[in-house]
Structure 1
Amino acid sequence: MDFNEISSDNNDDISLDMSDGSSVFDEQDGVGIELGTRPYQFEPEADSDEELVDEDDIQPSEDERLGNTDWCTCEQCVAMPNAEECVCCQEIPEIRCVTEEDHRHCITQHNGFSPVCLHPSVLRTAYHSYRQQYAELPETNG
């Protein structure tokens, strides 16, 4: 038996569809079925009542921060002249990790804060390093 005999015998059973599978297949009743990949097919779906925002991430508006320290959670913040400066160390995740590891409430209580952030020689070196890397400093309002 040669190949032509086999292929002609099985012609009714074999379909040689060479499509890539990404087209729409039309059923006999006219309803299309989409074939191919479906992105996010196996990703879990969020419940509609699921809380998407962590309560700790909710921050007061700028006006609520001026003239008080109610927004402070470390109990070391002071009232600042503009809302941009009214930031508690506990609102910054990287700093919060350091204070939690060291069992401190505020970054200013950390052993490395004073020698690294307040020593004039260290600040001068950081200033020159910044200038070397970024060339010009942004203009200040003060």
Structure 2
Amino acid sequence: MTDSHADIYGRYLHAGAISRDPDAFAELFTEDGVYEAPLLPEDGPLPRRLTGRAAIRGGIGAFQQGEPGEVDPSRSGFVLHGTADPDVFIAETDAVVGGAAIALVQIFRLREGRIASLRDYFTPALMDGTATPHR
């Protein structure tokens, strides 16, 4: 049985934002998976592109250690959108991270139940500390 988009996104959300477990996060990707955040500054705390599980594990792990912001699930939410391609879905997320409101749009491309490619578009202010505090 193939996992639903909601199942995959739920595991992604838990590994990346709740438990902040870079090993579990990386295991969601194919061996050659790609994580991209094209809106990030070139010299930001997270590389714009990470290719392969080892690079994803290391990059996300380093980012999480340097950015202690915790997600407030009670003030965060998401909507998933399917596409004509059953291996592609889009997540729209509004979250409160470290007390700041952020917005994200993520495009997931799957292969055999794992993330082959993830393009992560999020509030650049999250990286430079200018994100607006949530009230």
TM-score by length of 1: 0.23
More strand by share: 2
The structure whose Rg is larger is 1
More helix by share: 1
TM-score by length of 2: 0.24
Higher relative contact order (CA 8 A, sep 6+): 2
